[in-house]
């Protein structure tokens, strides 16, 4: 239940923040949100024993994200699924902690934005360059790291009887 609350909160905040922050190329703020992506990373330990449910949740979230925010049906469903597979592999080798969360969020945002840029280039949707990709990655890191750290603290403060797994 906690994972769905975090995911729903991130989903709604993505919509709210993109409506109130300038979001045009060359006009990005340092608070460009990818909070839903960060949330699917943060909630993985809560699904560690039920990975099938995790992947179903993130695919549905990706389809809803496409439906409400991007109008490119199945794009984010596929990207979230790929990121979910990467998250699963990362958690095999790295412990979940407050400090280690920062480079992991940076890695996840970079991979997501790079995959998105690759798809944009392949299908020639809009002009894309390495500079634009780098600019977009850098300008989305700050708020995503802050959101990840806040969610980590919330999950850590929840009593153990409400969590399926222990978080370091």
Domain boundaries, the chain: 2-21+28-162
Write the pLDDT tens digit of every residue in 9-60. Answer: 999 998 888 777 665 545 555 567 889 999 999 999 888 788 999 999 999 9
pTM: 0.85
Mark 90-117 as b/e (b = at least 16 C-beta within 10 Å). Answer: beeeeebeeeebeebbeebbbbbbebbb
- d(C-alpha 70, C-alpha 85), whole Å: 22
Q: Are 136 and 112 in contact (CB under 8 A)?
A: no
pLDDT of res. 24: 52
Write the pLDDT tens digit of every residue in 82-138. Answer: 999 999 999 888 877 888 899 999 999 999 999 999 998 898 878 888 888 898 888
């Amino acid at each position: 239940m906690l994972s769905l609350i975090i995911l729903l909160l991130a989903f709604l905040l993505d919509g709210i923040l993109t409506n109130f922050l300038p979001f045009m190329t060359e006009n990005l703020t340092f608070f460009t949100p990818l909070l839903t992506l960060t949330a699917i990373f943060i909630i993985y330990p809560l699904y560690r024993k039920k990975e099938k449910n995790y992947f179903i949740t993130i695919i549905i979230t990706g389809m809803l994200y496409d439906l409400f925010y991007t109008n490119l049906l199945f794009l984010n469903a596929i990207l979230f699924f790929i990121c979910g597979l990467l998250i699963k592999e990362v958690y095999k080798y790295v412990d979940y902690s407050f400090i280690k969360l920062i480079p992991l969020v940076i890695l996840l945002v970079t991979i997501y934005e790079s995959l998105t840029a690759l798809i944009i280039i392949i299908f020639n949707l809009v002009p894309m360059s390495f500079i634009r990709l780098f600019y977009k990655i850098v300008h989305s890191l700050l708020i995503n790291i802050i959101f990840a750290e806040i969610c980590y603290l919330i999950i850590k403060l929840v009593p153990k009887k409400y969590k399926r797994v222990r978080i370091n």
